[in-house]
Chain A
Amino acid sequence: MMKIEAIIQPSRFESVKDALREIGIEGMTVTEVRGHGRQKGHTEVYRGREYTVDLLPKIKLEMVLPDALVSRAVDTIQKTAKTGKIGDGKIFLSRVEEAIRIRNEERGENAL
């Protein structure tokens, strides 16, 4: 089992979600986050005082998948979330030790 953590542009989220559904992946956790890699922020001015805002809004997708589905999911996310500009985001993969379904205590890949 692998965990996919993808930080993407908010404007690409709906397309990514739809594309994942098309390949049979529906379960995910979505959070609104702020951050930046190399992308520059912007300046705001309030009554003459300037503020540099360099924490930019992004969407973080998290999902745990059986090994067999991982590479197709990563491909889909990467192709759909891409705009070609700095700020598109990143995908991280990590191994997951165990998964348990709360409703009926199923374990392992059956729980996913």
Chain B
Amino acid sequence: MKVAGRKCCLSLLLAVLAILLAAVPLVAQQAPAPAATSPASASSDSTKAITDKLAQLDKDVKAAQSAGDNAWMLVSAALVLMMTGPGLALFYGGLVRQKNTLAIMMQSFALMALITVLWALVGYSLCFGGNGPVIGGFEHAFLRGVGAEPNPDYAGTIPQATFMVYQLMFAIITPALITGATAERMKFSGTILFMILWFLFVYAPLAHMVWGKGGFLNASLGGKFPCLDFAGGTVVHISSGVSALVCALYMGKRVGYPKQPMPPHSLVLSFIGACLLWVGWFGFNAGSALAASSLATSAFVATHFATAAAALGWSGAEWLKNGRASALGAISGAVAGLVAITPASGFVGPMPALVIGLVAGVVCYLMVTKVKAMFGYDDALDAFGVHGAGGTIGALLTGVFAQQIINPIFGAGKPTGGLDGHWGQVGNQLVGVLMAWGLAIVGTLVILKIVDVVIGIRVPEEHEVEGLDVTQHGEEAYNLET
């Protein structure tokens, strides 16, 4: 290690000394100030220390609240995605005939992918950008400006990206619900094109009108006809349910309907799907509080109670009519309750929630068994009977049962719905309902015509008879022979 080594050690030693010398003034600055100051400046020093401390505590508390809110919202977003896949996929999958199982599941899954991309490119911006009365703007196209900073217009304590991804899950499940009416006869390619157009021209405007800044139905951001829709009774269920009816009428009945028996091929799958929907819906409704707050709790409880009452309502009606309560009836009743409580969940108390559920269970039972048979339309999986009808009932009953003590949405001390004496709210709800019905009917008809001309909507009859799994996707759902 001779000469070179000694030079090395020496330079190292000098370097360490230099660092120590430089550190001395630094250390000296952090020492407490000497007492050679006047009494007045000493007390203002301690006041400043207290104010600084308070400001720091305030920031810490907000950060803690944000952390709680964000954690809940991310979980909620995951729960809502689970509602589509596998919740809805299984629920619908079990209700169709075996030869069409994969086709209906594929439609839900494809939407999980397709709507996500559309949302990222332009969908979020169209729904929640801008401040127009009918549609948003393009300022958040490609999710520009959507990151860790909260957007105080919508959810001031969570990153805007959380709000964005949460809302995406709603945009995914809404078109997926429509596939229930077109089941067992719609072309996959036609479905894709239809869903792209429907998402852009029906869902986005409606979502903006009800939930977007400046939207003329927005209850919390100063809309002209404030329509109370906590988690999507109009935006999700009426829009998809009514569009489903339009599709069913346009496409016509399945080959063999109604004479040929077409019972569900696996109620086990449907049962699992329905239970996943029930659990996932807590993210859908309680998550719409956009915070881990007491309002989220209130919505969670209302959701659960309405679902239970609706299941009992449907089963009870069935037991009276047929002498037996079926498993399909019970799970269908539960879904009807979940749909109806959706717009009301963050506005009504637990007892009204029971009432809303019970009414939805019984009315949707009648829609699906009596009204459908009366008019003869082939809404294959009852998307209209449950979502269209349930959403309409829920939206109107929200106007009746909303109370400021649950959610003072119009401002402190201002009455919310009928139970507060503000019966005019039912009128506002009706405006929202009619808007949703109107947009769904007109938009869907136009889109169906376009898609039919460009690609075609319905599969040829031989393909329908053979089954969509084999003809549309080249697969069989079950290859059970050894």
Contact = CB atoms under 8 A, between A and B. Distances in A.
B382 interface: yes
B29 interface: no
Interface string B250-264: 000000001001011
* Top 6 A-B pairs, shortest CB-CB distance: A48-B369, A51-B261, A46-B263, A47-B368, A51-B263, A45-B322
B328 interface: yes
A45 to B, nearest CB: 6
Contacts of B326: 45-46
Contacts of B258: 49
Contacts, number: 23
A31 B460 CA distance: 36
Contact of B332 (A44, A45, A47): A47
Classify chain A's interface size: under 10
B48 interface: no
B329 interface: yes
Interface residues of B, number: 16
Contacts of B263: 44, 46, 51
A44, A45, A47, A51 interface centre (most CB from chain B within 10 Å)? A47
Contacts of B370: 48
B61 interface: no
A46, A48, A51 interface centre (most CB from chain B within 10 Å)? A48
B54 interface: no
Nearest to B321: A48
A44 B329 CA distance: 13
Contact of B382 (A44, A47, A51): A47
B373 interface: yes
B480 to A, nearest CB: 13
A51 B260 CA distance: 9
Given A47-B368, A48-B370, A48-B373, 14 more contacts: A44-B263, A45-B324, A45-B326, A46-B263, A46-B264, A47-B328, A47-B329, A47-B332, A47-B369, A47-B382, A48-B369, A49-B258, A51-B261, A51-B263
